Amino acid sequence: MDVYAHINFFESKYPRLNFSLDRVFAMAEEMGYDGLEVRAPANDVPYTVEEAGGLAEKHGLKGVTFGFYAEAMSDGPVLLKAETARFTECIRAAAAIGTRYLNCQTGGLRPAGASSYAATGSIVATAAQFEQAVALLRAAGAVAAEEGVTLCLETHPGILHDRAKATKRLIDAVGMKSVKVNLDWVNIWLIGEETEEAALNILGQDVCYVHLKNGRRLGNGAFLPTTLYDGAIDLFNHLRTLRRRGFDGIIVAELAGGGDGRYLARRNAEYLKDVLSALSRETCAELPARSEDAILS
C-alpha cells in the first residue's frame, strides 16, 4: 500500500498554499510519503496538472493524484455537458503524467437548515439528480477506461455517495470497472447509520483508494479532529481489515481540522510507516477475525 499526503496539510486556506508548490513536494518526500493528492484544476487552484506531475518526478515521488469536484446535481443539461468536458479533460491530462487514480465528488446535496450530516446527501437526492450523476460518470468513466485511470468516488457527507449503500448503488448503476470507491470511513461514521463491518461488506472489492483521518465526537455533536493514532477510530485495525480483504491501493492521510498541518503531516507519516511495517510482518492467516463488539458504529 502506498501512502500519499493530502494537499490540505500544506494549505493556509483552501485552496491557497502555505508554501511554494515545489516546497510542498519536497516536504512530502522528506516526510517519507510516496506521493501527494492535490486539487484538480479549477478557477482558484494555483497550479496545473503538468506542474504537479513535474514536481513529483523532480522529488522522486511515486506519483500524484487529483481530487476532482464535479457539479452534477444542478438541473441543467448545458452545465452537465460543460462539467463532463472539464472532467474528461482532467482525466486525460492526469493520465498523461502517469496518474492512475482520481478522487471524485459529484456535487453538493446540503439543504438549507439541515440539522445533521444524516439529513444531507443521498437521502435528499432526487431521481433526476441520481441519473445526472450516472450520466456524468459513464461519460467520464469511458474516457478513464481508455486512459487507464480509475475514478474513485469519495464517501463524503452532503453528496450523493455519502453512505456505503448509496455509493454502491451509484457504482452499480454506472456499471464500469473504471468507476470505484475512495473509502473515507470517518465520513460514514460521522453520519452514524452504518457500522464499519457493514460498510466494508457493502463496498467489498470496489474500494481501491482510502482517505484516512481521525477524531472524536463531542457531546454537542461536533467533531474534534485528532492525529491518526489518537482518535475514536482504531486505524491500525481498520487498515488491517482492509488488507485482509485484499486492499492494496493508495492510502491518503488528510488534515481533518486546523493547526500546523505541516507538523501533523509528519506525525501522521511516522504513524503510518509504523502501521504498515507491523502489517507487513503478518500473514493473512495470522489476522484474527474481528467481532462486532470490536467495531465502532
pLDDT the model gives residue 295? 40
CATH number of the domain that 108 lies in?
Answer: 3.20.20.150
80 domain-assigned: yes
pLDDT the model gives residue 222? 86
Query: 223 by DSSP, 3-state: which?
Result: strand
pLDDT the model gives residue 210? 98
Structural domain span for residue 159? 6-294
pLDDT the model gives residue 99? 98
pLDDT the model gives residue 115? 86
Query: 94 by DSSP, 3-state: which?
Result: helix
76 domain-assigned: yes
pLDDT the model gives residue 292? 41
286 domain-assigned: yes
- In sign, the C-alpha dihedral spanning 73, 76, 82, 85 is positive
**Type of residue numbered 117:** Y
pLDDT the model gives residue 75? 79
97 domain-assigned: yes
269 domain-assigned: yes
Which residues in the chain land under pLDDT 50? 285, 291-297
**Number of structural domains found in the chain:** 1
Are 59 and 31 in contact by the 8 Å Cβ rule? The answer is no
- Grid cell at residue 244: 485482509
- Grid cell at residue 3: 501512502
pLDDT the model gives residue 43? 84
1 domain-assigned: no
Instruction: Label residues 61-89 b or e (16+ Cβ within 10 Å = b).
Output: bebbbbbbbbbbbeeeeeebeebbebbbe
116 domain-assigned: yes
pLDDT the model gives residue 134? 97
234 domain-assigned: yes
